[in-house]
Structures are given as C-alpha cells and as structure tokens.
Structure 1
Amino acid sequence: MPQQTNQRRRGAALEETILEAAWAELAEVGYARLTMEGVAARARTGKQVLYRRWRNRAELVVAAMRHSTGSIADQPPDTGELRGDVLAVLRRMVERQRDIGQDVIHGLLADAPDLDPGPFAVMSEVMSGVLERAARRGEIASARLSPRVVSVATNLLRHEIMFARHPVSDGTLVEIVDEVFLPLVHATA
C-alpha cells in the first residue's frame, strides 16, 4: 500500500492559499467582520502564520485585493497619448473600486493609520511612467514634475471614491483629466 504524505504548504503556495481565503472571507463577511482568525480558519492554518506576513487585517486585505484583482502597475496603459493613458489609469482605478466595493474602501480608510504607505505609492510610480512616455513622445516638455503634480489625478479620484455616495462617472474622470491634470502638467512641465 503506498504511503500517503501530508505535505505542509509553504512559501508561495501557502501565501496564495491565505490570500484566496482572505478574499473569500472578505466577500462573505465584509470588511468590518473580517478577522485574522476567520481567515486563518478558512485557510486551515494558524493565525500566527498570517501575522508573520502581514501586521494586521488591513495589510492582509490590501495584499488579497492585489492578488485577486491585480495591480495597475503590472500592466500600465499605453494608448499612445497622455490624455488616453491617464484616463485609462483612472478607469482601471474605478473598475477596481467597483470590484472591491465601498465597504472595503471605507474599512481600509478607517484603518489607514495601520497601513504601510507603500501600496499607495504605486499609483505615483504608474503616473510617473505615463508622464515619462509622454515626454519621450514630445507631448510635454519634461516628466520632471513635483510629486504632488504627478499624483494629483489619482489623488482626486481617490477622494471621489472615498467620499462620493455614488459610483464615479466617466464624466468625472474626464473633468479630472481635462480640467485639472492636463492644464497643470502643461503649465509646470
């Protein structure tokens, strides 16, 4: 009779199991009721295993979101023009917000002091890449802009996502790009 082995999950396999369990738990119970204990039970591991990787539930949820929905930084848009690229970035942010839901957004906002700021810097990196491509194409004189200018479009959208009581419309995205971001970039580049 062949001997059965009970392999322990480790490394990437264990992390994937935990992130999938966190995403499923989040969908089932919502952010407010999500606990590290609940995720650990769903993943069939100990909560200490979770705490070795993530300091708190907010960091675990951000990691689960990125695992489940991907990161905009993984495939930054390249439409061939600055305006199209920025609109594509903002549209992906809105799409992701719809996938995640307001409950999670508001929960993460409440737990923001517990979050590592690193994941939020990703959008500045994406926008820097968009601006660098625009400068290479000759659309703007330089991509050397202040960090505040680089992030203004995504930060305005984050504000809309966090505080609007309704889904963010495409018209709002066009306003952010055409009335705020592009005039500011052209004035300062």
Structure 2
Amino acid sequence: MAERRRGVVLEQAILRAAAEELAEVGFPGLTMDRVAKRAGTNKNAIYRRWPSRAALAVAAYRQFAEGSAELPDTGSLRADVLELLRRANRQWSSPLGDVLRGLLAGLGGEPELLKELQDASSDGGSAVWLTILGRAVARGEATPEALHPRVATVAVVLLRNEFITRGVPHVPDSVLVEIVDEVYLPLIRGRGTPPG
C-alpha cells in the first residue's frame, strides 16, 4: 500500500498536476476532477488549499514561472528595459505564454488573482520595473518623478498589448526596440521636465 502524501509533498503533486493540465487543455479546460485524478488525490484535498479553479491555476502558473533570472543590471536603462522585454517576449512566445494568455483572459472578474498572476509573469510586475527605473534614477538617467508604477511598466504593457489584442505568437525584436526608443525612453525623460 502506498504511503499517504501530506503537506508540501501533496501540495507539490497537486500543483504539478494542475500545471500539466494547464499546458494540455489551458485554463478553460482545467477542472478540479482532472487535476485530482492526475495528482492521485481527491477534490477535497485541492479545495482545502485553493478555494477555486482560478486560484489553483494561478498557483500552478506561479510555480511554473518561478526561478526566472536575476534582474538585468547593465548600467544602462535602455539595455535593462530591452533585456526585460526580450525575456517577456520569449516567455510569452512559449507554451507557458499560451497558458498565461488563457489565464489573463479568464481572470477578468478576479482582480486579486489577476494581480498575482501578473506579478508572477516574466515581466515581474511593477516592483521589477520600479527597481530597474530606480537604478536609472540613481545613475542620473532619469529623474525621481519617473518613479511611478504606470510609467515604469508602460513598456511591458505595450508588449502585452501586442500579444493580447493583436494575437501575435511572437513580437519581432524591432518592435521591442521601437517600444523602448520611441515610447518608453521619451516618456521617462519627459517626466522630469516641467509642463510648459
């Protein structure tokens, strides 16, 4: 008779099963029954840990997406932003990106989970972008007025827009460079200039 799994061991089995299900059927096809069967447990064990299918999907995605590389620190805001955009582009172009897009589309009514998901995606949420921008402020490449979450994340929001509204499977590097050179850097530089 197999030993009964508990605690972290069972949790990891459930998350792994949910991640495999997400990769196979996407968020719309994810069911607690299929995850339970794949994990070799019952639905009650899942519901004790995650109150909904959406919460389980986000937790599974977070585990999948963890372990991303350290933040770039090239000494240049432009190079750091391009590296972050390129990482996000690679991830969103992968099967993991398909899962992310399905979750983003399916979590519209759950703002807390949506925020958690965005923070787990390869762009790292606003904290990552504020860190990169904060380093640029410290180097004198930007003024402190640029340190605003909406300003800091505008580049990755534009990249996300390419995937979600245009439905492209991969964004060409030339578009990333255009986002940085034509939108992001001018916005950052303009934040320190008083309105005229």
Return the TM-score normalized by structure 1.
0.84
1:188 alignment partner, one of 187, 191, 195: 191
Q: Does 18-27 or 49-58 show the bigger shift? A: 49-58
Aligned counterparts of 1:91 and 1:108: Cα–Cα separation in 2: 20
Q: Which amino acid aligns with 1:181?
A: Y
Q: Does 34-43 or 22-31 show the bigger shift? A: 22-31
2:95 matched to 1:97?
A: no
- Provide structure 1 residue ranges, at least 5 long, that are not aligned to the other structure: none
SS at 2:93's partner residue? helix
Aligned counterparts of 1:120 and 1:165: Cα–Cα separation in 2: 18
- Provide structure 2 residue ranges, at least 5 long, that are not aligned to the other structure: none
Aligned counterparts of 2:70 and 2:145: Cα–Cα separation in 1: 20
| CA shift in 2, pair 1:28/1:118, >3 Å | closer
Q: Does 40-49 or 107-116 show the bigger shift? A: 107-116
SS at 1:77's partner residue? coil
- The percent identity for this pair of structures is 43
Aligned-pair distance for 1:94?
A: 1.4
Q: Which amino acid aligns with 2:158?
A: L
1:45 alignment partner, one of 38, 41, 47: 41
1:134 alignment partner, one of 129, 133, 136: 136
2:108 matched to 1:112?
A: yes
Mapped contact 1:94–1:168 kept (Cα < 8 A): yes
Q: Which amino acid aligns with 1:118?
A: E
Mapped contact 1:20–1:64 kept (Cα < 8 A): yes
Aligned counterparts of 1:33 and 1:5: Cα–Cα separation in 2: 30
2:24 matched to 1:28?
A: yes
Mapped contact 1:153–1:176 kept (Cα < 8 A): yes
Aligned counterparts of 1:16 and 1:175: Cα–Cα separation in 2: 41
Cross-structure match for 1:6: 3
Mapped contact 1:149–1:185 kept (Cα < 8 A): yes
1:66 alignment partner, one of 62, 65, 71: 62
Mapped contact 2:19–2:60 kept (Cα < 8 A): yes
Q: Give me the CA root mean square deviation.
A: 2.3
Query: Which stretches of structure 1, 4 residues or more, deviate above 6 A after TM superposition?
Result: none
| CA shift in 2, pair 1:135/1:112, >3 Å | same
Q: Does 126-135 or 146-155 show the bigger shift? A: 146-155
Aligned counterparts of 2:134 and 2:103: Cα–Cα separation in 1: 34
Mapped contact 1:131–1:143 kept (Cα < 8 A): no
Cross-structure match for 1:163: 165
Cross-structure match for 1:150: 152
Cross-structure match for 1:85: 80
Aligned counterparts of 1:93 and 1:63: Cα–Cα separation in 2: 19
